[in-house]
């Protein structure tokens, strides 16, 4: 099965702006109760997550008399805005700029004596807000038939609900011009909505089935559903990936996926992941089996363990040490134990419906816990075989790793443990990998870590740190919603991308400098390949709409495999040249 994901799927600018605004408020201390006038976005799972962050939707302004009220992207009427001012409630305006433009058009033309006709759904909150600006002569029409029922009007100003279908709007406007002598028509349909609808229409001719992801109370999602169905392509709407279990897709070789403007990316990702795993009944059996195996390794963190073992091999080669299977296995088992235990103990585990790892960790929590314990035990046993110094060093590391989540700071401070420090996850993951990959090999030979071990440590730390940030750039939306403070959440996605680019350039210069000084063998220059691959990963991150989060995580994790392949290939070439 081929799965095609629409590039326009997910939050529109207005929704993203509103969500970012309330989450920034939630992170600020002392902001008090935060209310949204109506649900911030038309997506039940996201609304529940916002409630956990203390962002509560209200249906009536009479329900509150204190705190902060956020006006959602749909906007509100002038009368409701005045009511909030009278209550002396802090007002935060997250009205979409596209909606605010429609409000301004209506306000201007009402003052000029025009009758305002709004083409849209009379029950939609955006339309109710617009009507407030059109009083007392505002009229809502849904279709051409409604136009025929209108009374005689002289001067008419026509605007559209921003999520309306363009073809439908043009039909209504055409009929308005036929009926009334003076009609001013404004194109107020959001350009993002138009692109989304056009892409869905284009996709229907390329796939066997369309899946539209979004809340059933979302107007723009319904429009996408209608457009797809009118094309004749079998189309289904789902709010979560779970609903796909009731849809038979056995005969579908190509499936298209799009999502409404209120659908968060992790829900769309979970749908794509489900469809990707659905493969195997048609097509190349071996290829399908390999893809499923690869995705399984990513979800279960086995891919991370393989990456740690490869970086351990790279470090030994760079340090001029013979390859040791024991050292490779120590790194692999320790990293696997660290990752699985931290995920099991993650306080946010399970809050994101459809997270590509959460489902399997929740379903098999005991198995993962035992796997973590056994992996740590194997790492410690192997370290004992490598030497007492390695064993005690790894024991100390394990203790420090498990102390990461326990209370260390005095009561009364906002920080309770090391994990509460913003961005600490990215730093500690990189430190753990760098220690087992770069420092264990010299200790296993009874040496103190010298300059080559320190240089290897810097390379491994930087690679893992960059990969960790790139991975978190993909999940920044869900991390913000649950309250996880990674580097991309704290710095912003764009600044995080800049940081990775600067770090990759610095790593490239570092590699060239170390190679030029002769502190490490010339083979270190082969790692410049990894620097270029990191840039490829950043490009994939920018074009994430084309891939599911599981596939992206796999591409990012392949950074370590590229490093190993480059160094091993370079070593082989060097040996052939020295014959």
Could you read off the pLDDT of 236-280 as tens digits, one per residue? 999 988 888 888 888 888 899 999 988 888 888 888 888 877 654
Residue 280's pLDDT is 44
User: What is the rounded distance in angstroms from the CA atom of residue 481 to the CA atom of residue 208?
Assistant: 34
pLDDT at 282 over 60: no
pLDDT at 545 over 60: no
Q: Could you give the 3-state DSSP secondary structure of residue 344?
A: helix
Residue 363's pLDDT is 81
Closest CA to 526 of 570, 479, 492: 570
pLDDT at 377 over 90: yes
Region 318-338: mean pLDDT is 94
pLDDT at 201 over 90: yes
pLDDT at 5 over 90: no
Range ranked top by mean pLDDT from 59-63, 188-192, 411-415, 460-464: 460-464
Q: Could you give the 3-state DSSP secondary structure of residue 259?
A: strand
Q: Could you give the 3-state DSSP secondary structure of residue 211?
A: strand
pLDDT at 111 over 70: yes
Residue 361's pLDDT is 81
Q: How many residues does the chain have?
A: 579
Residue 509's pLDDT is 96
Residue 184's pLDDT is 94
Residue 1's pLDDT is 72
Residue 295's pLDDT is 85
Domains recognised in the chain with CATH numbers: 13-96 (3.40.50.11270), 99-189 (3.40.1010.20), 192-292 (3.40.1010.20), 295-577 (1.10.600)
pLDDT at 461 over 70: yes
Closest CA to 21 of 69, 67, 66, 64: 69
Region 339-353: mean pLDDT is 74
**Is the pTM of the predicted complex or chain greater than 0.85?**
no
Task: Tokens for 105, please give them.
Answer: 């058009």
pLDDT at 533 over 80: yes
Share of the chain above pLDDT 90, in %: 47
pLDDT at 321 over 60: yes
Residue 354's pLDDT is 56
Question: pLDDT band at 351, cuts 50/70/90?
Answer: low
pLDDT at 356 over 80: no
Measured in degrees and rounded to the nearest 5, phi and psi for residue 155 equal -105, 125
Region 174-202: mean pLDDT is 91
Catalytic residue set: 126
Summarised one tens digit per residue, pLDDT across range 141-172 is: 999 999 999 999 889 999 999 988 888 899 99
> Residue 54: which region, alpha, beta or left (left: phi > 0; alpha: psi -120 to 50)?
left
207 or 577, greater pLDDT: 207
pLDDT at 402 over 80: no
User: What is the rounded distance in angstroms from the CA atom of residue 131 to the CA atom of residue 308?
Assistant: 60
Region 138-142: mean pLDDT is 92
pLDDT at 99 over 80: yes
User: What is the rounded distance in angstroms from the CA atom of residue 457 to the CA atom of residue 520?
Assistant: 13
Residue 83's pLDDT is 86
pLDDT at 407 over 70: no
């Amino acid at each position: 099965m081929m799965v095609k994901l629409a590039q326009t799927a997910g939050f529109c600018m207005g929704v993203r702006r509103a969500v970012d605004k309330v989450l920034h408020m939630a992170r600020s201390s002392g902001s008090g109760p935060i209310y949204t006038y109506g649900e911030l976005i038309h997506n039940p799972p996201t609304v529940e997550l916002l409630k956990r962050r203390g962002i509560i939707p209200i249906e009536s302004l009479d329900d509150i008399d204190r705190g902060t009220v956020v006006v959602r992207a749909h906007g509100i009427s002038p009368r409701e805005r005045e009511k909030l001012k009278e209550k002396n409630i802090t007002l935060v305006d997250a009205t979409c700029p596209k909606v605010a433009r429609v409000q301004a058009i209506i306000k201007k033309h009402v003052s000029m004596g025009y009758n305002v006709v709004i083409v849209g759904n009379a029950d939609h909150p955006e339309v109710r807000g617009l009507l407030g600006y059109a009083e007392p002569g505002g009229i809502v029409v849904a279709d051409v038939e409604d136009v025929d029922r209108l009374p005689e009007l002289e001067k008419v100003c026509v605007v559209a609900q921003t999520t309306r279908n363009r073809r439908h709007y043009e039909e209504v406007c055409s009929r308005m011009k036929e009926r009334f002598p003076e009609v001013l028509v404004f194109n107020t349909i959001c350009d993002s909505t138009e692109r989304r609808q056009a892409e869905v229409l284009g996709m229907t001719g390329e796939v066997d089935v369309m899946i539209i992801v979004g809340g059933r109370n979302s107007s723009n999602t319904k429009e996408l559903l209608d457009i797809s169905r009118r094309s004749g392509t079998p189309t289904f709407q789902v709010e979560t990936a779970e609903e796909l279990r009731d849809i038979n897709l056995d005969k579908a070789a190509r499936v298209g996926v799009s999502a409404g403007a209120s659908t968060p990316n992790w829900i769309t990702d979970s749908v794509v992941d489900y469809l990707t795993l659905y493969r195997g009944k048609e097509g190349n059996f071996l290829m399908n089996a390999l893809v499923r195996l690869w995705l399984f390794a990513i979800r279960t963190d086995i891919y991370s363990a393989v990456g740690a073992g490869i970086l351990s091999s790279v470090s030994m080669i760079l340090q001029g040490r013979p390859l040791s299977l024991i050292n490779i296995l120590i790194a692999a088992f320790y990293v696997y134990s660290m990752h699985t235990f931290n995920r099991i103990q993650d306080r946010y585990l399970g809050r994101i419906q459809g997270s590509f790892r959460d489902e399997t960790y929740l379903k098999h929590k005991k198995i993962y816990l035992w796997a973590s314990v056994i992996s740590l035990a194997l790492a410690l046993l192997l370290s004992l075989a490598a030497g007492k110094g390695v064993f005690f060093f790894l024991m100390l590391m394990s203790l420090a790793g498990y102390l990461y989540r326990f209370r260390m700071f005095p009561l009364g401070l906002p920080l309770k443990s090391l994990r509460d420090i913003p961005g600490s996850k990215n730093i500690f993951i990189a430190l753990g990998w760098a220690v087992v990959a770069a420092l264990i090999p010299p200790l296993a030979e009874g040496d103190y870590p010298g300059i080559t071990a320190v240089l290897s440590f810097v390379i491994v730390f930087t690679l893992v740190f960059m990969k960790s940030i790139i991975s978190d750039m993909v999940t920044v939306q869900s991390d913000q919603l649950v309250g996880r403070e990674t580097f991309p959440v704290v710095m912003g996605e764009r600044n995080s991308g800049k940081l990775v680019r600067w770090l990759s350039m610095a790593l490239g210069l570092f590699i060239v400098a170390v190679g030029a000084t002769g502190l490490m063998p010339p083979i270190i220059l082969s790692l410049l390949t990894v620097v270029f691959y990191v840039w490829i990963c950043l490009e994939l991150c920018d074009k994430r709409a084309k891939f599911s989060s599981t596939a992206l995580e796999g591409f990012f994790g392949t950074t370590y495999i590229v490093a190993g392949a480059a160094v091993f290939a370079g070593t082989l070439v060097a040996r052939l040249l020295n014959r």
